[in-house]
Amino acid sequence: MSMLEGRSIIVTGAASGIGAEAARRFAAAGARLTLADRAANATIAEEIRETGGIAQFVAADVSDEAQVRAMVAQAVSAYGRLDGAFNNAGVDQQPVALHEVDLAEWRRVTEVDLTGVFLCMKHEIAAMLDNGGGAIVNTSSVLGAIAVPKSAAYIAAKHGVIGLTRAAAVEYARRGIRANAILPGAIATPMFADAEKDPAMAAQLEAVKEAHPINRMGTPAEIAALAAYLLSDAAGYTTGAAIPCDGGFTAT
């Protein structure tokens, strides 16, 4: 039997990058998917169905509680239950010193990257309690463990994701719910591929690679594989963990 066979799993930020790759991985492992993204024209669910998988798409902004509530309700309506969630939706911050961060920018970042995770967990956990438990994986970042200049809002949000994850792990462990966080390092998403076409950006990306002991960027597939493991019974004794997947970056 495949590691996620028959499980109803939500993936947010599913339209591209890590989220889309996770959707493919989970579908191949037998999951029944509810794929959510703000991009209403996303084709990932259709792609999965065309290859024999089970998936539905929901247009949802994770910073909007009504939309999150509807997303979870649609997952339960379609598949009868909710077994797992990969809360992966997020946005980046414009690089600016903390004392120059506009309040609107602070709110834009934290409302998606932290409040969005809170709202997803709130409604996912409520649904999971109705069927005896489940597993949640949240995407944090290496910047949830360390800090760099000019990313205060993003860093605060990603540190907060780890705190939320641990709080949920402790609060719900005896009710059958596990919660873990993944801390990706630099991941070769399509955004980075486009940046490499610019000579100036290519030089910066080379420096990013060299900052990782493995001396390369990670792939969405590597994050997806870790998420699939954490959602599966193979990780049944793992909860409250914040796991770097960063080529050794946070070990230096």
How many CB atoms sit inside 10 A of residue 238's CB? 15
Q: In the predicted model, what is the mean pLDDT of residues 127-133?
A: 97
Name residue 135's beta-bridge partners.
Answer: 84, 178
Contacts of 13 (CB under 8 A, 6+ apart): 19, 36, 37, 88, 89, 90, 139
**Residue 206: inside a domain:** no
* Whether residue 65 has pLDDT greater than 80: yes
Which band of pLDDT confidence, cut at 50, 70 and 90, is reported for residue 58? very high
**Residue 213: inside a domain:** no
pLDDT the model gives residue 16: 95
**Residue 113: inside a domain:** yes
Interatomic CA distance for residues 13 and 36, integer angstroms: 6
Interatomic CA distance for residues 182 and 141, integer angstroms: 7
**Residue 248: inside a domain:** no
Interatomic CA distance for residues 85 and 252, integer angstroms: 31
Give the CATH number for residue 154.
3.40.50.720
The number of domains in the chain is 1
Query: In terms of DSSP bridges, do strands 32-37 and 84-87 run parallel, antiparallel, or are they unpaired?
Result: unpaired
238 by DSSP, 3-state: which? coil
pLDDT the model gives residue 1: 58
Active site residues: 154
Which band of pLDDT confidence, cut at 50, 70 and 90, is reported for residue 194? low
Which band of pLDDT confidence, cut at 50, 70 and 90, is reported for residue 130? very high
Give residue-wise pLDDT tens across range 144-183.
999 999 999 999 999 999 999 999 999 999 999 999 999 9
Please state, rounded to an integer, the average pLDDT across all residues of the chain.
95
Residue appearing with tokens 């409302």: 111
**Residue 193: inside a domain:** no
**Residue 202: inside a domain:** no
One-letter amino acid for residue 217 of the chain: M
Contacts of 167 (CB under 8 A, 6+ apart): none
**Residue 35: inside a domain:** yes
* Whether residue 191 has pLDDT greater than 70: no
Give residue-wise pLDDT tens across range 67-92.
999 999 999 999 999 999 999 999 99
Nearest to 113 by CA among 57, 73, 151: 151
pLDDT the model gives residue 106: 98
Owning domain of residue 49: 8-187+219-243
Nearest to 162 by CA among 75, 243, 104, 225: 243
Burial of 198 (0-12, 13-18, 19+ CB in 10 A): exposed
pTM of the model: 0.96
Which band of pLDDT confidence, cut at 50, 70 and 90, is reported for residue 195? low
**Residue 48: inside a domain:** yes
- The DSSP string of 69-134 is HHHHHHHHHHHSS--EEEE----------GGG--HHHHHHHHIIIIIHHHHHHHHHHHHHHTTT-E
